[in-house]
Structure 1
Amino acid sequence: MTDREGDREHPFSEGEGFDDPYEEFDLDPPELGIDPSKVDPVDSRVVTDTLDEQNIDRGAVDAAELLDVGLNYMQINRFEQATDAFERAARFAEDDRVAQEAWVNKGVAHAELEEYDEAIGAHREALRIDDSSEHAATAETNLAYALWEFGETAQALEHAERAVEIDERFAEGWFNRAFFLSERGLAEEALHCIDNAVRLGMRNAQVLEEKARILEELGEYDEAEEIADEANEMRERAEQRVVEERQEMHGQGGQPGTMDDAEIEQVDRVQQDEDGEWRLE
């Protein structure tokens, strides 16, 4: 081996150098020129969303189609993908109505994932766009539900009341208000609200079960039992429909067996479909 020639450092080429600043290489490119104080450090989509805004022509994006994509994800219980689709639809929408609808559905998808903080934020964003539009009542009642699950019970009732103030014919708004009032021990007011929901066409097992519970609180045991029996019959019919659909899908006969959680949820959705979907679709 030969000794190194002195202790000189590895030689680097000596050129004319770069201009200061060197425009072709920037540690802070303009497409990422965002205020870091406004970035959630756990938001994994911040870079993607920022680049989307820089690289995609807003006119080339059909926000309504993105909204439909999100709704299709909701139908097959792919809620995480739905939230992404709804957020992009909202951000690219030039029509406030489409943007508001996307934010409301994003809130619903987050609630399905039990991400109630995110659901609250989405519904508030929808209401920021317009707090008296055709979608505002839905945003208010879904916000009330998310707040309730998040532990903000007082605010939940306020928004449930706001929902029926916006649209007096909004059946789910009356149902949610009835539930919140009942939880506070205000059974007489709750009964009035749930009767409004039923009169407006929201008559399914879940609603009737809640009405029976309220009637029991009021001491109307005979009527409560009658309503509870009707609710059970409706739920059994819905369960039978789900079983028949499962058998047709798999080409099976015989005993239906035990229903899993997804099928029980499907029973509730069958009941909801009879009244019309509660969420925006």
Structure 2
Amino acid sequence: MTDREGDDDRNHRFSEGEGFSDAYDEFDLDPPELGVDPSKVDPVDSRVVTDTLDKHNIGSDDVDADELLDVGLNYMQINRYEQATDAFERAAQFADDDRTTQEAWVNKGVAHAELEEYDEAIGSHREALRIDEESEHAATAETNLAYALWEFGETAQALEHAERAVEVDERFAEGWFNRAFFLSERGLAEEALHCIDNAIRLGLRNAKVLEEKAEILEDLGEYDEAEEIAEEANEMLERAEQEMVDERRETQGHTPDSAGVPDGRSGQQGPRDGTGTDITDPGRASDRDDEEWRLE
């Protein structure tokens, strides 16, 4: 055994410091006081703390709402719609002008529709229209509201808002196309043909538009013209498929490990869903051509 006698007599010097100074201003165990009335907080709302902290810690001057819009649109391109809704909501929260706020709400509604959250989509588009019913984004909000209402089972309201979209902007091609679809579904083929012809005159000529026109012509008994239009639509689809294959091969040739991921959304017009209607994404708004269109 080790002899431990005399241990009590050993001198052991401990560190001699000056102790702790006053608490740093930058570090405190006490949480910040948030200006929130607990009685007005929904206990089921899982994001209330995050949103409150955002408002508490981040000033609107420190946030670029336009950049947040671009972030949301980038999420849309890669089909990350939940993240897109969050980005658009924050863009609307921090925007300092009605135009940007409205644009954010419309895009948020589009993202919710992609998630088949039509109730939330309806609310977002109504919020956009509450800001301004005559602005450059109003027609887009109206036609997307019509789409969401249709999916939600409110078909009568859907047609009303589809008509409102082209009243706000008679040169809104996607609005004419969606109105044509709603009219066709209600058996009003002649009016539907008039609307889809207006959409084509305004430059909206692609395979899905031509397919819709072919169906309308069949309903009107114009079988020869319907067959001709349907063949043109098929040719467009075949060309598009071939272009996609060629583009993918070219991409793989430059980067062998790349699978050539296709874009999720491009341009002003969204993908056609099961009903035939369009989700129209305003994207980063740009002024339309000033050329006057004469619609029959």
- The TM-score bracket by the shorter chain reads 0.7 to 0.9
Matched with 1:117 is: 119
Q: Return the alpha-carbon distance in structure 1 between the equivalents of residues 247 and 267 of structure 2.
A: 11
User: If the length of structure 1 is used for normalisation, what is the TM-score?
Assistant: 0.79
Residues 118-152 of structure 1, C-alpha deviations (whole Å, 9 max, x = no match):
11111111001111101000000000001111111
Q: Return the alpha-carbon distance in structure 1 between the equivalents of residues 233 and 267 of structure 2.
A: 14
Please tell me whether the aligned partners of residues 144 and 280 of structure 2 are also in contact (alpha carbons under 8 angstroms): no
The amino acid that maps onto 1:200 is: L
C-alpha displacement of 1:269: 5.5
Structure 1 segments, 4+ long, off by >4 Å, are 268-273
Matched with 1:103 is: 105
Aligned counterpart for 1:209 among listed residues 198, 208, 211: 211
More helix by percentage:
1
Aligned counterpart for 1:219 among listed residues 218, 221, 236: 221
Considering only CA atoms, is the larger Rg found in Structure 1 or Structure 2?
A: 2
Aligned counterpart for 2:141 among listed residues 132, 139, 146: 139
Residues 94-137 of structure 1, C-alpha deviations (whole Å, 9 max, x = no match):
11100000000011111111111111111111001111101000
Q: How does 1:108-257 map to 2 (within 5 A)?
A: 108-251=110-253
Please tell me whether the aligned partners of residues 205 and 271 of structure 1 are also in contact (alpha carbons under 8 angstroms): no
Cα RMSD between the aligned structures? 2.6
The structure-2 alpha-carbon separation of the partners of 1:271 and 1:52, relative to structure 1 and needing over 3 Å to count, comes to closer
Matched with 1:88 is: 90
C-alpha displacement of 1:159: 0.4
Higher relative contact order (CA 8 A, sep 6+): 2
Q: Return the alpha-carbon distance in structure 2 between the equivalents of residues 54 and 200 of structure 1.
A: 48
Runs (5+) with no aligned partner, structure 2 = 1-28, 255-260, 271-278, 284-296
C-alpha displacement of 1:251: 3.2
User: If the length of structure 2 is used for normalisation, what is the TM-score?
Assistant: 0.75
The amino acid that maps onto 2:133 is: D
Please tell me whether the aligned partners of residues 110 and 280 of structure 2 are also in contact (alpha carbons under 8 angstroms): no
Please tell me whether the aligned partners of residues 177 and 199 of structure 2 are also in contact (alpha carbons under 8 angstroms): yes
Aligned counterpart for 1:58 among listed residues 54, 57, 60: 60
The structure-2 alpha-carbon separation of the partners of 1:240 and 1:95, relative to structure 1 and needing over 3 Å to count, comes to same
Please tell me whether the aligned partners of residues 139 and 165 of structure 2 are also in contact (alpha carbons under 8 angstroms): yes
Q: Return the alpha-carbon distance in structure 2 between the equivalents of residues 280 and 269 of structure 1.
A: 11
Aligned counterpart for 1:44 among listed residues 43, 46, 59: 46
The share of aligned pairs that are identical, in percent, is: 76
C-alpha displacement of 1:44: 2.7
Q: Return the alpha-carbon distance in structure 2 between the equivalents of residues 279 and 271 of structure 1.
A: 6
